[in-house]
Amino acid sequence: MKKLLGIGFWELIARIILRNRIVILIGILLVTVLFATQWKYIKFTQTEANLIPADDKVNIDYQKFLNHFGEEGNLIVIATKDKKIFTPKVYKAWSELMNNIKSNKEVSLIISIDNLQKIVKNDSLETFELKPLVDNNKVQDEFYLKQIQIELFTKLPFYEGFLFNKKSGAIRSAIYLDKKIVNTKKRKDYVLNSLIPAIDKFKKDSGIELHTSGMPYIRTLNAKTIIDEIGLFIGAALLITSLIFFYFFRSFRATLISLIVVIIGVVWSFGIISVLGYDINVLTALVPTLVIVIGIPNCIFFINKYHQEYHKHANKAKALQRVITKTGTATLLTNITTAVGFATFIATNNLLLREFGIVTTINILAIYFLSLLLIPIFFSYIPSPIPRHLGHLNRESLTSFLNWIINTVKYNRFGVYITSICLLIFGIIGIYKIKVSGSIIEDMPKHTDFFEDIRFFEKEFDGVMPLEIMIDTKNKNGAMKLSNLRRMEELEQTINDIPELSKPLSIVNVAKSFNQAYYNGNPEFYSLPTPQEEIFLLPYIKNSLKNSKDNQMKSYVTSDGSVARMTTFIKDENGEKMETIEAHIRNKVNKIFPSPRYEVIITGKASVFQKGTKYLLDNLLSSLLFAFFLTGGLVIIMFRSFKMVLVSIIPNLLPLLMTAGLMGFLGIPLKPSTLLVFGIAFGMSVDDTLRFLAQYRLELSRNDWRIKKSVFATFEDAGISMFYTSIILFFGFSVFMLSSFGGTIALGGLVALTLFFGMLSNLVLLPSLVLTLNKTLANQQELPEPTIDFLEHTDEDIDELEMKNK
């Protein structure tokens, strides 16, 4: 390791870079052009994030459901509470809207008041048939439409809770998309280019307010918002980081060079995503912005080191060479630790996180090498720094801040430890207040029309997030047996008693409608038949299933009649109760559908997402421990001291606990977005730790292993860069708070806050620990003899090697 990363290695790298500038620039240009050509192949995800591995039982059960009944998330609903819907003019416009929607090949079925079917009995064929509820020849008569409204609300209980709310008068239409396009680009194109324009035209022409929702609609507008925000994040990150950069260095040239480096990094990031064949999703959409936020601190570190060296001897060539030779290993290791923070996601058994981990890890290392190559080359072509550019090294406000930290570490370490213990207690108490959220829509943009529409449907129709129950009777036509129908009715009653769930839809509702139709539509007979009635009724039902391809019963029972489906909807705000609700349903299921005679699966998107959040929590906690071990391994390699591992981990663990505590006290739940905070923040915060310790090792060799003098000398060299990079990272991650997504806002704000705590911890607590444990850490058996160090090198070491090379 010493030979690989020793002074000779980095002196060789410096020579190669500075002597082959044109070749390197041409190479980087060609690679950039190559990646830019890959942009046209970038794809945007058309599916929801699945947080559970494909081989997990939850996913296996969900896939089993899809195999029987197909994609569940193909329903779009359009609703209104305006009573004018039953006036001739508005009804005509509504009918035209539905016909317009139905004419699209992407739509497989529409159930609406204008084409509503009611079940009637055909005694001659011993079957049930569907007849239109509305006679289109009479729709110009307002009195007729009022009669239709009365009949719908009083005589068709099958549709109550599905197409109308009897209490509020809300009416809705159900639009079923072709299941083959639900997870394709065709769904997005249809919703954006056909459905929304048609709805907007109706609203403009009729003056009626409509509400639209359903999983295909929500997913489409959600994805569109993600795409729109990519440009916002990139632009805001470039603007904020460049302004802060210029404020620090007061140099347009240095600012422009840094922007060029990170813009090339952004081009590479999109190209890498495309080359790897990954889709742009809610996580990978953040990568280009992360490249900017992480790339600018790299530029700051190299440029600040260049200014420090030039300030010493005013030799431009020598300063550029020493930027590489004196900081090569330290900057490499700090970028590796940042990459490790993201690489922990690769260890999770989740495709979405694994892709995010791979892409970010590659791009972090790529932006490091771009900075290492381009910063010395660009500065070699521009004039030497002028005194104004070097003024930041002695800025009064900055030196006052560092002097306050030095005095605190020197004279008040006891106060530092007391404060740290108090913050630790604060964090631990807050952790016990954290709740876990399994809400699908919690992170969606709250100030959008489609989010308000979700709330409308939750109020009027008890939600749009499906919860599915699949009952396998393991016998042909077993789902049609009256005994099993009564079991399902008992289960439905249990579901009706749960206030968070909507009225369920199943074969039971259809069977009740058949019984009602058998008695000529009398709503008093909307119930399951008696055993005596079953003898006469069952042949009608079986013939109906056999003869009608479009019969909606087939949505709730398989073709052989062995497997039944029961669908209910859950208010997403109650997603945190999903586990309790499922347990309640499962207890009832176990009593009325005993295993192994029956197999009952409780699934659906809402259920899968909630279980995915819990799975993600378990995996990310283990990944964070993995990151601790990896970082500890790097520190052992660097210092060959287990005690130094403890010194390096504590200052980075405390900010994580403080952030977790704040989440608990502020009521911010653990969810997929906030769970990512800890791995990302740890990987980036530990950079400052390694930079401080690397510089500390150098100062030890310079100062004859005198601990106190070395610690305070470390502040003079590394303190400024640590402060600059931390401020950039703080404001850089704060850019994500411009998002309309609650999850992205939480991710940006919490990471920024954690990194700010991390900066203070590394500047105050870390040196305090080093000084307190100085006797142990200065043990000559644990530290190499004061020769050339492989992390940093003294000026005398480099001068000696340079003379030898000459």
What does the DSSP assignment read for 327-353?
HHHHHHHHHHHHHHHHHGGGGSS-HHH
Return the closest-CA partner of residue 389 out of 455, 463, 316, 307.
Answer: 307
Pairwise CA distance, residues 141 & 747, whole Å: 57
Six-digit token pair at 746?
Answer: 């939480």
Q: What count of other Cβ atoms lies within 10 Å of the Cβ of residue 284?
A: 25
Q: Distances in Å between the alpha carbon of 164 and those of 149, 454, 781?
A: 10, 16, 81
Residue located via tokens 């609609």: 217
Q: Which of 454, 521, 533, 453 is nearest to 486 (CA)?
A: 533
Distances (CA, A) of 665 to 431, 620, 675: 8, 22, 16
Distance between CA atoms of residues 32 and 26, nearest Å: 10
The 3-state secondary structure of 263-291, one letter per residue: HHHHHHHHHHHHHCCCEECCCHHHHHHHH
Residue 726 near residue 764, CB atoms below 8 Å = no
Closest of 307, 316, 302 to residue 370, by C-alpha: 302
The single residue listed with the structure tokens 């499962």 is 586
The residues near 157 (Cβ < 8 Å, ≥ 6 apart) are: 512, 516, 523, 526
Query: How far apart are the C-alpha atoms of 267 and 36, rounded to whole Å?
Result: 6
Whose structure tokens read 């044109």?
22
Dihedral angle, C-alpha 548, 554, 557, 561, nearest 10 °: 20
> Which residue(s) pair with 168 in the sheet?
none
User: Which residue is it, tokens 């992360």?
Assistant: 290
> In terms of DSSP H, where are the helices of 412-557?
413-431, 449-461, 482-496, 507-518, 531-547
* H or E, element range at 566: strand 563-570
328-331-334 Cα angle (round to 5): 145
Residue whose entry in the numeric block shows the structure tokens 């999703």: 281
Prediction pTM value? 0.73
Tokens of 618: 């378990």
CA distance 603 to 468: 5
526 vs 528: CA distance, rounded Å? 7
**Cα–Cα nearest to 309, from 788, 794, 803:** 794
**128, β-bridge pairs:** 121
- C-alpha dihedral, 426 to 432 to 434 to 436, nearest 10°: 160
CA 640 to chain CA centroid, nearest Å = 38
Q: Which residue has the tokens 């639900």?
A: 182
Q: What is the pLDDT of residue 394?
A: 63
Element spanning 593, H or E: none
Contact 228, 234 (CB under 8 A): no
Q: Which of 733, 751, 739 is nearest to 231 (CA)?
A: 739
Compute the chain's Rg from CA coordinates: 33
pLDDT for position 197: 92
- Are 176 and 74 within 8 A, CB to CB? yes
Mean pLDDT by 10 residues, the chain (806 residues): 57 87 93 90 73 78 84 84 89 91 89 86 80 87 89 88 87 88 86 91 89 87 80 85 82 88 92 89 82 85 82 80 77 80 76 86 92 90 74 66 83 89 91 76 74 85 83 87 89 88 86 86 87 78 63 72 87 67 89 89 80 72 74 73 79 88 85 76 77 76 76 76 81 84 82 87 87 57 37 48 48
Specify the pLDDT at position 743.
Answer: 75
Q: At what angle do helices 482-496 and 531-547 cross, to 10 degrees?
A: 90
Kind of pairing, strands 563-570 and 465-472? antiparallel
SS3 (DSSP) at 217: helix
Sign, CA dihedral 409-411-414-420, equals negative
Phi and psi, residue 686, nearest 5° = -70, -15
Cis peptide before 596 (omega within 30 of 0): yes
> Could you give the CA distance from residue 64 to residue 48 in angstroms, rounded to a whole number?
18
Contacts of 789 (CB under 8 A, 6+ apart): 697, 698, 701
Residue 715 corresponds to which amino acid? F
Beta-bridge mates of residue 568: 467
Torsion sign across C-alpha atoms 701, 706, 708, 713 = negative
Residues 6+ apart with CB under 8 A from 384: 310, 314, 316
168 alpha-carbon distance from chain centroid? 37
Instruction: Give the total residue count for the chain.
Output: 806
Amino acid occupying residue 386: I
pLDDT of residue 266: 92
Decide: 472 and 566 in contact? Cβ < 8 Å: no
Q: Which residues of 379-388 are buried (b: 16+ CB within 10 A; e: fewer)?
A: beeeeebeee
> Which amino acid is residue 481, in one-letter code?
K
Distances (CA, A) of 401 to 123, 398, 407, 764: 92, 5, 10, 12
Cα distance between residue 394 and residue 107, in whole Å: 68
CA 231 to chain centre: 17
φ, ψ of residue 568 in degrees (nearest 5): -130, 170
Q: What's the pLDDT at 388?
A: 66
State residue 137's pLDDT score.
86
In single-letter form, the type of residue at position 738 comes to L
Q: Tokens 């990094």 identify what position?
A: 265
